[in-house]
Amino acid sequence: MPITVDIDVMLARRKMSVGELAERVGITPANLAVLKNGRAKAVRFTTLAALCEVLDCQPGDLLHWEPEDAASE
């Protein structure tokens, strides 16, 4: 998938656990794991906004686009 999710990077920078982030955002740890591992097909803007608020970051800090060709190399 050409969109990659870098929640792990922000979690490390904020010294926060996945469980704490899920609780503060208001989603289940299982749903956060689906998003963080790149298996999500969509993300609600409200969820993205909550992630950005809790992690004190911008959406671009969490989501990156990579061309299909670069992903296969």
8-28 pLDDT per residue, tens: 999 999 999 999 999 999 999
Helix (H) or strand (E) holding 5: strand 3-5
Query: Structure pTM?
Result: 0.86
24-70 pLDDT per residue, tens: 999 999 999 999 998 999 999 999 999 999 999 999 999 999 888 75
**Confidence (pLDDT) at 55:** 97
Residue 30's alpha-carbon distances to 19, 37, 38, 45, 67, in angstroms, are: 9, 11, 13, 18, 28
Q: Is 26 left (phi over 0), alpha (psi -120 to 50) or beta?
A: left
